[in-house]
């Protein structure tokens, strides 16, 4: 058996501090139906379906935090919270008032629901605490591991021992814990370890599963109406079909590249840029991300921006190194962001000469060859792209404080690299005279 310095014991014996913080940092949000809160928004919202009393929500949340702090079993937590819920009337089947004023029957508290609340919140908090991000260059692979008991669903058990490329967004879309009650996990592997396992019976290394992953939308019927929910489907040859569960907390991102951008923005610039450049190098991924960003740009109201942003690419690793060596400019991270107010409204108000369609397809352009120049007057970098007889000049404000709402409408406040303006300039103006100095062209890999 190949050695691995990441074991199940390592995974499950981790201190719960990060898990407690994850649960504690959530903001209580009243909701009739769990599916009202979409996908990764559950990372920020504490929700109990049909619990609309904010004081009660806060009390339940705090009780779960205390259960984690004191290592309480479900039975102990149930004994502590059940009398409170019964006293407040949140128990059994009752008629409740819906937002439109109508009345509908609903199941409030029950022993079954308490177990679901406890397991969902505790298990997800622990999973988020030990979820692995970054270090793609050290541990590029992940092995799916199941618990191997009679509670494991056949489609989950069949994935036990399957090894996936961690930087593959299609793996991120189907990875463990994207189903109700899923107890599967992943073990990180080096390239050498993956090769060793792959040579053994029962283990398979998958470099690219894009051909086997599809996406669907199903309707989830709730007390307050019907909700569309994405389902990600994996059909590996000669294996049972695996599906994420509709409405599950972290199955909201069909192709979670924006979430991967978020994580890449939290690591050193070179590491984040390299990891995301590898992700976007795949045509199927690049096309999907470009289409998603284009749809957002086309729908943005530049007259009344909402303060939204999307990550659209990276400062290329060779540019990051050149800026550090030649200009002493160290980037906080390597991710480039497009903002509806900072970028799109500015373009509209300043009447910059540009093709809106070129801007909308910025993800593809940033992934294509371009050049790094230095603006000698403003002492700042400029990205330059060839367009017909002219050139596009893209100004990115580096290490800038960015505030706004992300793809799941969650507020973020971080330091990054935001596109300020995009304008057409003549090749003669850029290449001749003293205004600009060319630092580097894109380094193409063989």
14 band by pLDDT with thresholds 50, 70 and 90: very low
Q: What are phi and psi of 397, to 5 degrees?
A: -85, 115
d(CA 35, CA 31): 9
- Beta-carbon-side half-sphere exposure of residue 101 (alpha carbons within 13 Å): 0
**Contact in structure between 309 and 296 (CB atoms under 8 Å):** no
More confident of the two residues 80 and 18: 80
At 359, is the secondary structure helix, strand, or coil?
helix
User: For 300-304, 435-439, 441-445, which range has the lowest pLDDT when averaged over its residues?
Assistant: 441-445
What is d(CA 393, CA 373) in angstroms, rounded to the nearest whole number? 9
* Tokens read off for 397: 């404000």
How many other C-beta atoms are found inside a 10 Å radius of the C-beta of residue 430?
Answer: 19
**Structure-token pair, residue 219:** 């309707």
> Does residue 164 carry a pLDDT above 90?
yes
The helix/strand count (H/E) of the chain reads as 16, 18
Percent of the chain beyond pLDDT 90? Answer: 54
E-strand spans in 21-178? 27-28, 45-46, 93-97, 103-107, 141-145, 162-165
Give the pLDDT confidence score for residue 325 in this predicted structure: 96
Provide mean pLDDT across the span 13-26: 78
pTM score, whole prediction: 0.76
Sequence length of the chain is 446
Strand partners, 46: 28
Contact predicate 176/185, CB 8 Å: yes
Tokens describing residue 96: 């409740």
- Pull the structure tokens for residue 374: 């230095």
Rounded mean pLDDT, 198-216? 92
Q: pLDDT grade, residue 363 (50/70/90)?
A: very high
Q: How confident is the model at residue 3 (pLDDT cuts 50, 70, 90)?
A: very low
CA 221 to the chain's CA centroid: 26
Tokens of 157: 């058990």
**Nearest partner of 48 among 28, 67, 65, 63, judged by Cα:** 28
Q: Is 105 helix (H, G, I), strand (E, B) or coil?
A: strand
Q: What is the pLDDT of residue 345?
A: 93
Q: Determine the Cα angle at 386 with ends 381 and 387, to 5°.
A: 125
Residue 366 near residue 312 (C-beta atoms within 8 A): yes
- Say how far apart CA 225 and CA 237 lie, in whole Å: 37
d(CA 189, CA 214): 26
The pLDDT-based confidence of 46 (bands split at 50, 70, 90) is very high
The confidence band for 351, taking pLDDT boundaries of 50, 70 and 90, is low
* Per-residue pLDDT at 261 exceeds 50: yes
Measuring CA to CA, which residue among 166, 47, 134 is closest to residue 176? 166
Element (H, E) at 191: helix 191-198
CA distance 24 to 55: 15
Query: Is 39 strand, coil or helix?
Result: helix
DSSP labels, 296-349: HHHH--SSS--SBEEEEEE--HHHHHHHHHHH----S--EEEEEIIIIIIHHHH
What pLDDT, on the 0 to 100 scale, is given for residue 388? 66
Compute the mean pLDDT over every residue in the chain, rounded to the nearest whole number.
87
417 vs 272: CA distance, rounded Å = 13
């Amino acid at each position: 058996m190949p050695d691995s310095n990441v074991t199940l014991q390592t995974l499950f014996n981790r201190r719960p501090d990060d898990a407690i913080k994850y649960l504690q940092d959530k903001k209580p949000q009243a909701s009739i139906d769990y599916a009202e809160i979409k996908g990764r928004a559950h990372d920020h919202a504490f929700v109990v379906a049909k619990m609309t009393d904010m004081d009660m929500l806060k009390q339940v949340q705090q009780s779960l935090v205390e259960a984690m702090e004191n290592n309480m079993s479900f039975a102990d937590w149930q004994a502590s919270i059940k009398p409170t819920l019964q006293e407040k009337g949140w128990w059994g089947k009752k008629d409740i008032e819906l937002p439109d004023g109508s009345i509908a029957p609903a199941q409030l508290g029950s022993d079954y629901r308490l177990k679901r609340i406890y397991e969902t919140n505790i298990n997800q908090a622990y999973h988020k605490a030990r979820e692995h991000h970054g270090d793609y260059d050290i541990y590029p692979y992940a092995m799916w591991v199941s618990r191997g008991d009679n509670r494991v669903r056949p489609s989950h058990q069949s994935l036990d021992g399957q090894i996936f490329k961690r930087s593959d967004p299609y793996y991120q879309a189907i990875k463990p814990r994207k189903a109700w009650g899923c107890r599967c996990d992943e073990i990180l592997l080096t390239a050498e370890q993956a090769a060793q396992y792959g040579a053994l019976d029962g283990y398979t290394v998958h470099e690219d599963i894009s051909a086997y992953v599809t996406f669907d939308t199903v309707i989830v019927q709730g007390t307050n109406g019907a909700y569309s929910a994405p389902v990600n489907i994996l059909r590996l040859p000669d294996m049972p079909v695996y599906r994420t569960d509709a409405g599950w907390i972290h199955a909201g991102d069909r192709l979670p590249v924006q979430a991967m951008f978020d994580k890449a923005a939290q690591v050193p610039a070179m590491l984040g840029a390299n990891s995301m450049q590898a992700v976007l190098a795949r045509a199927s991924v690049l096309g999907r991300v470009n289409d998603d960003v284009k749809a957002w740009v086309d729908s943005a109201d530049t007259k009344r921006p909402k303060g939204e942003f999307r990550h659209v690419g990276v400062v290329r690793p060779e540019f990051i190194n050149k800026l550090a060596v030649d200009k002493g400019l160290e980037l906080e991270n390597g991710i480039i962001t497009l903002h509806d107010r900072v970028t799109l409204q500015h373009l509209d108000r300043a009447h910059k000469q540009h093709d809106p369609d070129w801007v909308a397809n910025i993800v593809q352009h940033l992934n294509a060859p371009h050049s790094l120049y230095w603006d000698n007057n403003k002492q700042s970098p400029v990205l330059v792209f060839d367009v017909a007889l002219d050139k596009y000049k893209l100004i990115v404000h580096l290490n800038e404080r960015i505030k706004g709402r992300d793809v799941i409408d969650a507020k973020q406040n971080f330091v990054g690299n935001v596109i300020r303006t995009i304008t057409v300039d003549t090749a003669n103006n850029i290449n001749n005279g003293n205004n600009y100095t060319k630092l580097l062209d894109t380094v193409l890999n063989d």
